Amino acid sequence: MSLQIIHARAYQQKDTTVALEDFLEVSEFYCDTIQGEGVTTGVPAAFLRLQGCTLNCVWCDSKSVWRHGNRFTFNELFELMNNADLPRKLHEGQHLVLTGGSPLMQQDKLAAFLDEFIKIYDFKPFIEVENECIILPDPAFTSFRVFYGRMVDLWNNSPKLYNSGILRKYRYKPDVIKYMSLLGNSWFKFVITYEEDDWGEIKKDFLEPELIRKDQIILMPRGETFEELKKNQAFVVRTAIENNVRYCTREHIVLWDTTTGM
Ligand code: SF4
C-alpha cells in the first residue's frame, strides 16, 4: 500500500471541525515580497512566521523573531490578511510561505487554519512550508484531496549539519528525512560554510544511506549578513558545480541585508 493511500484514509477519519476562535501563535506576517531562498527564489510571496522552533542553530538569523509571538485567532488572522488584500494577491500568484521557527510545531492548528482559508475564499493558494525535518508532517498536509491535490505544494526542507552547532542526535532524524524525500514535492536545502566538510557530511549522512536523491539537493551559503554571504558564496557555488547539484543564494540578504519583514 502506498504512503499516499494510508494518508488519505487517516485524513478521512479525522474530525477537522474547528471554531474560528481557534488560534495560532504567530511571530510575524508580511506580504508583497519575494521568496529569498530555494527552488522558488524570486517568486512573489507572503510569509506567515509561526512562533517557536525545535532547534536553536548558532547561525539562525530569525531567532530574535520566532522566539516571540502573539496569539491570533483564525478570525483575527483572516482580518489581518483581508486588510493586506492577501486573498486576491494569493489568487493572482503570490505564494504563501509558512515558516518559523518550526511551523510543524503547530501543525494541527495550522492545517485547520488552511482548511478554513480554503473554505472561506474558495481556492487554495500555492503553499510552501519551511521544514527543519524534525517532526513528521500530519497527513492533512500530505494526502491528496479531490479538488486541489495536496495542501502543501512545496516542502523546503532544511536539515541541519554539524555547522549548525546542534548535537547530531537532536538535528538528524533519518526517518523524517526519508519520509519527506519520498513525498516528491520536496527539496533539501543545506546551509554550507567554507570552514567544514559539509559536502562530505551530506554524502555520508544523506546520500549514501539513500535518504534523499541528489537531484533534490540545493546548496546555500551561510550568510546572516551580506558581508558574510559574499565570503561563503564563491566556495559554495564551486562545491555545487563540482558535485552537479543546485546552488541558491539568500536573495533577501542580497537585497535587504539584515532587515527583517521585507
Ligand atoms: S531550524 Fe531554522 S528557524 Fe530553527 S533555529 Fe535552526 S535555522 Fe533557525
210-244 pLDDT tens trace? 999 999 999 999 999 999 999 999 999 999 999 99
Mean pLDDT of the chain: 91
Q: Where are the beta strands (DSSP E) in 1-150?
A: 23-34, 44-50, 70-73, 95-99, 127-131, 144-145, 149-150
Q: How far apart, in whole angstroms, are the C-alpha atoms of residue 15 and residue 190?
A: 36
Angle formed at CA 134 by CA 133 and CA 140, multiple of 5 degrees:
75
Q: What are the E-state strand segments in 61-111?
A: 70-73, 95-99
24 has which bridge partners? Answer: 72
How far is Cα 171 from Cα 23, in angstroms, rounded to an integer?
Answer: 28
Residues in the chain: 262
pTM: 0.90
Distance 140 CA to ligand 1 centre (A): 23
CB 22 within 8 A of CB 112: yes
What are the CA-CA distances from residue 214 to residues 133, 187, 193, 202, 209 (Å)? Answer: 17, 10, 19, 10, 12
Separation of alpha carbons 141 and 80, rounded Å:
23
**CA–CA distance, 188 with 37 (Å, rounded to integer):** 11
Q: d(Cα 240, Cα 235) in Å, to the nearest integer?
A: 9
Nearest CA to ligand 1 atom 2: 101
Ligand 1: centre distance to CA 148 (Å): 30
| DSSP-based three-state secondary structure for 40 | coil
Q: CA-to-CA distance for 26 and 16, rounded, in angstroms?
A: 21
Which residue, by CA, sits nearest to atom 3 of ligand 1? 101
Residue with cell 507572503: 46
Protein residue whose Cα sits closest to atom 8 of ligand 1: 60
Three cell numbers, residue 14: 479525522
Cα 61 to middle of ligand 1, angstroms: 8
**Over residues 187-206, mean pLDDT:** 95
**All 3 cell numbers of residue 233?**
558564496
Q: Which three cell numbers stand for residue 185?
A: 514535492
- Is residue 2 scored above 90 in pLDDT? no
The residue among 219 and 10 whose pLDDT is bigger is 219
In 108-175 the beta strands, taken as DSSP E runs, fall at 127-131, 144-145, 149-150, 154-157
For residue range 106-164, list pLDDT tens digits in order.
Answer: 999 999 999 999 999 999 999 999 999 999 999 999 999 888 899 999 999 999 999 99
Residue 10 has pLDDT above 60, yes or no: no
